Structure 1
Amino acid sequence: MRNVAIIKTTLSYAVALALTSGAALAAEATRAPAGTLADGTAVEVISLTNKQGISARILTYGATLQSLSMPDKHGKTADVLLGYDDLKDYVDHPNYFGVTVGRYANRIAGGAFSIDGKAYQLPLNDKTNSLHGGGKGFDKQVWKVASVKSGPVATLVLTLTSADGDSGYPGKLDSSVTYTLDEAGNLGILFDAKTDKPTIVNMTNHAIFNLGGEGSPDGALGHLLTIPAKAYTPVDEALIPTGERKPVDGSVFDFRQPRRVADGIRDGRDPQIVFGRGYDHNWALDKGLTKTPELAARLEDPVSGRVVEVLTTEPGVQFYAGNFLDGTLVGKGGHLYRMGDGIALEPQKFPDAPNKPNFVSARVDPGKPYHHAMVYRLSVKR
C-alpha cells in the first residue's frame, strides 16, 4: 500500500495528458519474460504500443527504456534508441542506455554532501566524483511491476524501495517510475519518491537518441537541436559545475534557435568543449522549476523527419553527445557505438546541487514527496 498514493498522483497527470491531446483509441500494454540474473531474479519486459506505429519496450532491470520505435516521414519504422538487444549486456556492460537514474542523476563532487550539518559519503564511480547514484544505483536493480494497463493511455508502474544508507544516501526511499503512451505520441515518464528522513533525490531517464535509427552510419551529429535556455552551467576539468550560470549568447552553447549538433562539438577553442570532450553540460532552462512539464529541448533529424520534444517539470537539462562512446561497446544489431552516434537529453536538477546553495535544491523531506514529470513528445516533420 505504501506506493498507492504516489501511483494515483502519477496516473492523474497521464490521463489528463491523453485527454488534452485528443487520444481516443486504446493503446496496448503487454508483459513477457526477459531472462534472469545470475542470482535467479526474474526480469520482465513490458511493451507499450499505440495505433500510430509507436512502441516502447521497458525492462524491469533498471526500469530501463530498452527501445523506442517510431515511423519516419516515409512510414518506415525504426528503433531510435542506443542500447542492447539482451538483458545480459545491460548487466555485463552497463553504460546507462535508457536507464532510470537515481538516487541522484549526474555528478556530485567528491561524492560528498551534507544535510543539516551531517556529512554523507557516496561511492566514487567517476574518478573523484559520484555519478548517477554511485555504486549500485537504481539502474542496476530490478524494479517491481505494480501495474500494467491498456486503455486510452497504456500504463506501466514500477516500484523500488531503497533502504536507509543504500549507497550512502540517508533515508528509506519508496520510489516509483510510471511509463505512459497515448495515441498522440506522448511517452510520459513520471518519477515519484517519498522518504522517512531528509535526503536528496534527482531522478531522470538516460535515453540516448539517434532519430535516423539506432546504428545508422551518420550518427546523430547532423540532428538539429533546440534548447530554450539563455544560460548553462560551466564545469571544471572534473565536469563539476563551478556554480556560475554563464550566458550562451555568442558561444557554441547557444541552441535557442535550431542548430546542428556538429557545428560546435569539436570547437577546441572553447575550454568547456575541451573539458567535456564535446557537449556534456547542463543548461539552465528559462522556464525554471514548473508544476507541469514544459519544453526543455527539441531534437529533429532532417533526413528522416523524426522529431522528439523533451518536456519536464525540472529546471535543467543535461545534453550529452555520447562523448565517451569509443567503439568498444557492441550494441543492438551488432553495431559499434562511437562518439556522436547518439544524444542524451536528461531533464534534472543541476549537477552537484547539494553542494551549490545557489542552485535549485534537490532536498526531499518526510511529508514532502519528490515528483518529476517528463514527456518525450514524438512526431514526424514531413
Structure 2
Amino acid sequence: MNIKTSKELGDWKLFTLINNQNMEVSILNFGGIITRIIVPDKHGKLENVVIGYRDIKDYQSNSNYFGALIGRVAGRIANSTFNLNDATYTLAANEGAHHLHGGKNGFHQVVWKAEPFETDDTVGLTLTHTSQDKEDGYPGKLDMTVTYTLNNNNQLTVDYQAIATENTVFTMTNHSYFNLSGNLKSMVHQHHVTIPSNHVVELNEQLIPTGKKMNVLNTPFDFRTGRYLMEGFKSNHPQNKVARNGYDHYFIFDQTKKAEVIVQEEASGRRLTINTNQPGMVMYTSNMLDEGLPLNEGSSKRYLGVCFETQASPASLEHDGFPSILLEKHQPYTKQTIFTFDTI
C-alpha cells in the first residue's frame, strides 16, 4: 500500500491512495475532491469509475460539484433562509432564490489542510477545516474533519466529524458521480440500483421539497428489490418529469432495514455497495449535467454518472417529520459512508 503526492496548482495537492489490489483513489485537498477511483472489472481490467475533469484547473469553478465535499448543508435550502432558536438566518442564493450545496463559497471551494497516513492494512487522507461563525450566513464556528480511508478489501470509507460553538444546521456529503462501466464507456441507463426506501421526498418544479413524503409503491421510485435507472429516464411519472427526466430525490431509508445501497453494471461486472449511518440519500442521475465539458475519458453529457449523496434532509428546516440537520453546540457530529467495490 502506498500514497503518491503531487503538486498540481498553486497550493493544491493531489493525493493518490493505492492498496494491495491496485485500487486507486485520487483526492485533491481543494474541495476534498475525489478525481479518480480505479477499480477492476470482472476480467480484472482496471478503469476509472467516477467523473473527473481532464484539466485540474477546471475544478476551480466545478459548478457540477464533481467529486467534491459538500457543506455546510448538502442540498437546497428554500429561499436561502431558515429559522433557528427564534432567529432568522439568510444565506447566499446561488440557484435562483435558493441556496444550493453550501453556496458559492461552500466546502467544495475550500483548500483543506491535508495529512496522509498509512497503517498495516490501510492508507488514507485526513482533511481538516474551520468554518467561522456567520461564514456564508451560518451560525457558529465549525471545526471539521473528513477522513478518507482505503483498505485492501477495496473499501473506501469516508468519515465526517464536526463540532460547532453554537446551535447550527449541518449535513455533509460527497458528490462523486459514479459510472461503473469503466472509463465512461457508456451512460448509466443499465445501472441496476437497490435502495431500502419506502418513501421519497416530493419536489416542486424548483426541486424544493413540498413537505410530502411519496410512497414508492407502484412507482419508478421503488428500488426496494432493484431496478434499472433507465426506467426513470423514460418515465412519465410527474416526479421524474420534475427532475428533468430522471432522479434528483431524497430517499428516506427504511429504519427497520440495513442502510445498504447496491449498484451493479452487468457489462463490466462491477458492483458498488454503499453502507452508511445517515438516515437517507439523494440519488441524482446527472439529468442536468452540463454537456461538452472535457473529462478524463471524453466529454460530459446527461446521464453520464449517478450520485449517491448520503445525508440528512434540508426539508426538515421547513417541514416536520424529515431527518433533521440540526447540530447542537458542542455535540459531536459523526457520520460515516463506506463504498465497497467488487464484481458480480
1:356, distance to aligned residue in structure 2 (A): 2.1
Q: Deviations over 1:173-209 (max 9, x none)?
A: 1111100011111100011111111111100000101
Q: Which residue of 1 aligns with 2:104?
A: 135
Which runs of 5 or more structure 1 residues have no equivalent in the other structure?
Answer: 1-26, 37-41
Runs of 4 or more, structure 1, over 6 Å off, are none
Amino acid of the structure 2 residue aligned with 1:230: N
1:34, distance to aligned residue in structure 2 (A): 1.9
Q: Which residue of 2 aligns with 1:323?
A: 287
Q: Deviations over 1:263-313 (max 9, x none)?
A: 222212x1111111111101010028x9xxx53421111000111111111
SS in 2 for 1:347: strand
Conserved? CA contact 1:279–1:320, under 8 Å? yes
- Partners of 1:105 and 1:149 lie apart in 2 by 30
Amino acid of the structure 1 residue aligned with 2:5: R
Alignment of 1:1-382 (within 5 A): 27-36=1-10, 42-216=11-185, 218-268=186-236, 270-277=237-244, 278-287=246-255, 294-333=258-297, 335-381=298-344
Report percent identity of matched pairs. Answer: 34
1:369, distance to aligned residue in structure 2 (A): 1.4
Conserved? CA contact 2:316–2:322, under 8 Å? yes
- Partners of 1:303 and 1:259 lie apart in 2 by 16
Amino acid of the structure 1 residue aligned with 2:230: A
Conserved? CA contact 2:314–2:325, under 8 Å? no
Amino acid of the structure 2 residue aligned with 1:265: F
TM-score (norm 1): 0.87
| Greater displacement, 124-133 / 55-64 | 124-133
SS in 2 for 1:133: coil
Q: Deviations over 1:315-368 (max 9, x none)?
A: 1111100011242322113x2211111111110101332222321221112220
Which runs of 5 or more structure 2 residues have no equivalent in the other structure?
Answer: none
The alignment's C-alpha RMSD in Å is: 1.5
Q: How many residues align?
A: 343
Cα gap change, 1:214/1:123 in structure 2, threshold over 3 Å: closer, same or farther?
farther
- Partners of 1:91 and 1:372 lie apart in 2 by 27
SS in 2 for 1:83: coil
Conserved? CA contact 2:314–2:324, under 8 Å? no
Conserved? CA contact 2:54–2:294, under 8 Å? no
